[in-house]
Amino acid sequence: MRRGRGRYRDRRGPCHQSRGSGGCRQVDQSDASREPGSWRSESGGWIRASRAPHHGFSGGADGQSQPRNVQAPRCRRLPRDRGGALRCLQRQEQHLGDGAGRTTHRRYCCGGCQRSLRCDRGADHRDPHHPAQGPRGSWPQGQRHRQEGRVALRPFKIAFPSSVDQACDVAGDNFADARLLAGGSDLLTSIKERIEVPDLLVDLKRIKGLDGIAFDEKGITIGGLCTLSDVAAHEKVRKHYFALSEATEQAATPQIRNVATIAGNICQRPRCWYFRSEDYLCLKKGGFKCYARWGENEYHTIFDNDFCCAPNQSNVAPILKVYDGTLEIVSTSGTREVEIEDFFTGPTDDISRENILEPGEVVTRIHLPTPAPSSGCAYFEARERQSFDWALASASVRLTFSGKKVSDARVVLGAVAPVPLRRRASEKLLVGNTISEETIDAACKAALEGAILLEHNAYKSKLVEGLLARALRAAAERGKGG
C-alpha cells in the first residue's frame, strides 16, 4: 500500500475542469448530462459528492455500507512510544473509533501492539456464504496461518536452482503454489500482505547468464535478471534506447532499482490499496466487489475500469511496447517468444492475473529491435512525490520520420489502464503529418477517447494530455522531425 497518500486534497479543481472536457465522462454521469452545459444543473450534486467526508463507512451504490477510508493521518512514533503497549492500545481504540480499522493502524503505528497484543481485526467484509470466502478465519487456501491469536506467515520452502531448466522443473512440479523470486521487492511484500501464499519460492538469482545485456545489429537483448539500475546505466541502452533508460531510472528509489529486475518489474502485482490490504477481499482476490470503484480511487484507471480499476504500474512495460519488444519465456514444455503486445491481460480476460504467464514459466530475456535511424523516443511520467513514487500517469512515444513527416508512430500510456495502453487513434493521426502544435493537440485528444473518469481521478485526463504533449515534442526533437 502506498504510504502518505491518505491526505485529502481539494478535489474540486481537477474534477471541475474535466467535467466538461470532450471525450471523457464521469462514471456516474448520465447520458443526458453529457450534453454541453447540462451538467451544470447537477453541479450541486457532484460537488457535494466530491466534498463528502471520507471517514469511516458510507453508503455505496448498492445501498450497502462501503469502506471509504483506508488511510488515516500518520501516527507518529515518538521515543516515548518504545514498548508502549498501552499507548498502542489507546491509539488502536482511537483508530477503530475513526472507523478506519486495522488497516490504517498497522500501516502507521509503531508495531508494538502487533507484538504485544491480540489485534482487533476491524470490520470483516467477507460473505460467510461465499464459497471462496467462508466464515472469518477461513480464508481461501488457508491464507491465514493463525498461532495463539497472532497472524503468522504460512511457512514456505525456498529452492535455489542453478539453471533455468531446474527452475522450470521445480516451479512446474509445484504448479500454483510455487512463486518465482527475483529481486523480491514486490513478491516479498505481497507475501507479507498475504496476497501471495506460496508453499515454495524458486529463487532465480543463482542462475547464471540471465543478468547480461547483449547488443548487435538486430537490437538489444536484456536478461530477465538485469536490475533496473544496470539497464538504466548501460551504455548501449542510453545511446540507442534512451527512453528505456529514462523509464527505468525514474522507477522507485536507487536502493530498489539495485535489486529490482526488469522481468520482475513487468510482472509486478497491482498497487491498489484494497488489493494490498488483507482486510479487503475484493473481486481480484475472489470476493464480490471492487472497493476502489466507489471508494478511494484517485490512483486508479481511467480506461477499461468496468470490473477492476487497478492500473498497471510498471515503468518498463509501456516503453517495451513502444520499442516493439519480444519476451523469451521458458518452461518445461520448451521456449516460446511472445510479443510484449500480447503479454498483458486485462480483468475481462481473467481478473485474478495480469499477464499470460503460466505457473513455472520464466521470462528469461527481453529483445528490442534496433529503432530506425530517423526515429525518436521519449518517456514522461508524473508522480505525486518526486523523490520516489509510482507514476500517476505516463506517456511513451516513438516517432519515425520520413523527411519532416511521421512515417510510423507508437503511443502508449502507463498507469491509467489495467495494461500498458496503446493509443492507436493517436498513432493514426500522427502518421503522414508533420509534428505541429495542432497535430500534438489532436493526438492528445484522441488518446483520451473512451476514458471513463472515476469520482476521484478526473485529474488523470489532464495529466495524460500534458505528458503526451511533452513526450511527442521530445520524440520529434530527438528524431529530428521537430
Instruction: Kindly state whether residue 282 participates in binding ligand SF4, applying the rule CB under 6 A.
Output: yes
Instruction: Kindly state whether residue 156 participates in binding ligand FAD, applying the rule CB under 6 A.
Output: no
- Of 312 and 331, the one with the shorter C-beta distance to ligand SF4 is 312
Give per-residue burial for 336-371: e unless 16+ CB within 10 Å, then b.
eebebeebbbbbeeebeebbbbeebbbbbbbbbeeb
What whole-number distance in Å separates Cα of residue 211 and Cα of residue 205? 9
Question: Which of 340, 325, 342, 317 is CA-nearest to residue 220?
Answer: 325
Instruction: Kindly state whether residue 27 participates in binding ligand SF4, applying the rule CB under 6 A.
Output: no
Q: For 134, list phi and psi in degrees, rounded to 5.
A: 70, 180
Instruction: Kindly state whether residue 446 participates in binding ligand FAD, applying the rule CB under 6 A.
Output: no
Contact between 379 and 243 under an 8 Å Cβ cutoff? The reply is yes
Stretch that binds ligand SF4, among 185-193, 304-312, 328-336, 468-476 (CB under 6 A): 304-312
Contact between 311 and 270 under an 8 Å Cβ cutoff? The reply is yes
DSSP letter at 377? E
Through-space distance between the first and last CA atoms of the chain, rounded to whole angstroms: 41
Least gap, CB of 348 to ligand SF4 (angstroms): 12
Least gap, CB of 186 to ligand FAD (angstroms): 3
Binding at 315: pick from ligand FAD, ligand SF4, none (beta carbon under 5-8 Å per type) = ligand FAD
Binding at 49: pick from ligand SF4, ligand FAD, none (beta carbon under 5-8 Å per type) = none
Least gap, CB of 347 to ligand SF4 (angstroms): 7
Instruction: Kindly state whether residue 229 participates in binding ligand FAD, applying the rule CB under 6 A.
Output: no
Query: Which of 274, 379, 390, 459 contacts ligand SF4 by CB under 6 A?
Result: 274
Contact between 396 and 321 under an 8 Å Cβ cutoff? The reply is yes
Stretch that binds ligand FAD, among 31-39, 91-99, 178-186, 273-281 (CB under 6 A): 178-186
* Residues contacting ligand FAD: total by CB under 6 A: 31
Stretch that binds ligand SF4, among 12-20, 53-61, 268-276, 397-405 (CB under 6 A): 268-276
Least gap, CB of 125 to ligand SF4 (angstroms): 11
DSSP for 34-71? GSTTGGGGGHHHHHHHHHS--SSEEE-TTSSEEE----
Instruction: Kindly state whether residue 183 participates in binding ligand FAD, applying the rule CB under 6 A.
Output: yes
What whole-number distance in Å separates Cα of residue 94 and Cα of residue 292? 25
Q: For 179, list phi and psi in degrees, rounded to 5.
A: -125, 140
Contact between 297 and 123 under an 8 Å Cβ cutoff? The reply is no
Query: Cα 43 to chain center, whole Å?
Result: 32
- Of 241 and 294, the one with the shorter C-beta distance to ligand SF4 is 294
Query: Which of 270, 346, 371, 420 contacts ligand SF4 by CB under 6 A?
Result: 270
Binding at 270: pick from ligand SF4, ligand FAD, none (beta carbon under 5-8 Å per type) = ligand SF4
Residue holding cell 512510544?
Answer: 81
224 residue type, one letter: G
Binding at 362: pick from ligand SF4, ligand FAD, none (beta carbon under 5-8 Å per type) = ligand FAD
Binding at 469: pick from ligand FAD, ligand SF4, none (beta carbon under 5-8 Å per type) = none
What whole-number distance in Å separates Cα of residue 206 and Cα of residue 203? 7
Binding at 284: pick from ligand SF4, ligand FAD, none (beta carbon under 5-8 Å per type) = ligand SF4
Binding mask 373-402 for ligand FAD (x = CB under 6 A): ---------------x-xx-----------
Instruction: Kindly state whether residue 417 participates in binding ligand SF4, applying the rule CB under 6 A.
Output: no
Q: Which residues pair with 412 in a beta bridge?
A: 396, 422
**Residues numbered 189-218 forming contacts with ligand FAD, rule: CB under 6 A:** 204
- Of 230 and 279, the one with the shorter C-beta distance to ligand SF4 is 279
Instruction: Kindly state whether residue 454 participates in binding ligand SF4, applying the rule CB under 6 A.
Output: no
Residues in the chain: 482
Instruction: Kindly state whether residue 231 participates in binding ligand FAD, applying the rule CB under 6 A.
Output: no
What whole-number distance in Å separates Cα of residue 384 and Cα of residue 392? 7
Residues 6+ apart with CB under 8 A from 423: 411, 412, 413, 446, 447
What whole-number distance in Å separates Cα of residue 318 and Cα of residue 306? 22
Query: Which of 103, 229, 314, 375 contacts ligand FAD by CB under 6 A?
Result: 314
Contact between 311 and 149 under an 8 Å Cβ cutoff? The reply is no
Question: Which of 267, 421, 264, 251 is CA-nearest to residue 341?
Answer: 421
Stretch that binds ligand SF4, among 274-282, 325-333, 387-395, 463-471 (CB under 6 A): 274-282
Site residues (CB under 6 A) for ligand SF4? 270, 272, 274-275, 282-284, 290-292, 300, 308-310
Site residues (CB under 6 A) for ligand FAD? 179-187, 204, 224, 251-252, 256, 259-261, 263-265, 267-268, 313-315, 357, 362-363, 388, 390-391
